[in-house]
Structure 1
């Protein structure tokens, strides 16, 4: 996630709606375009990874309203 605080708010809202036995949600920075960020993400993992949500933008060169994509981000969900 680019904005860890926003990710933490979303994770807290989701956890509030889920039953306690659903496990825990973990928000972590992961820029797939940055090898050192991937290495840090892997090194920080202490348990199994059950879900990785990748969120990447799409740029259409012919579209006047296209926004640039500067990196790839992801969100992580853990279950215990």
Structure 2
């Protein structure tokens, strides 16, 4: 898994596909908007992300950054 981004989104690579997740940078981390997870980026942009994959993606990001000085957290709008 690779995570990159800016102050307004993160890009997460999982299973050789990337997804751009909107959010906002906070002091010491990033708040990601779970409802912005819908489709993979090109060339897989015609493939939707189902709820199970979305949960797996969110859990993997949280797990990867939980012991980091820059933690990524998700809002609870969909969970």
**TM-score category by the smaller chain?**
under 0.3
Larger Rg: 1
The structure whose RCO (Cα within 8 Å, separation 6+) is larger is 1
Which structure features the higher share of helix residues?
A: 1
Q: TM-score, normalised by structure 1?
A: 0.25
Q: TM-score, normalised by structure 2?
A: 0.25
Which structure features the higher share of strand residues?
A: 2
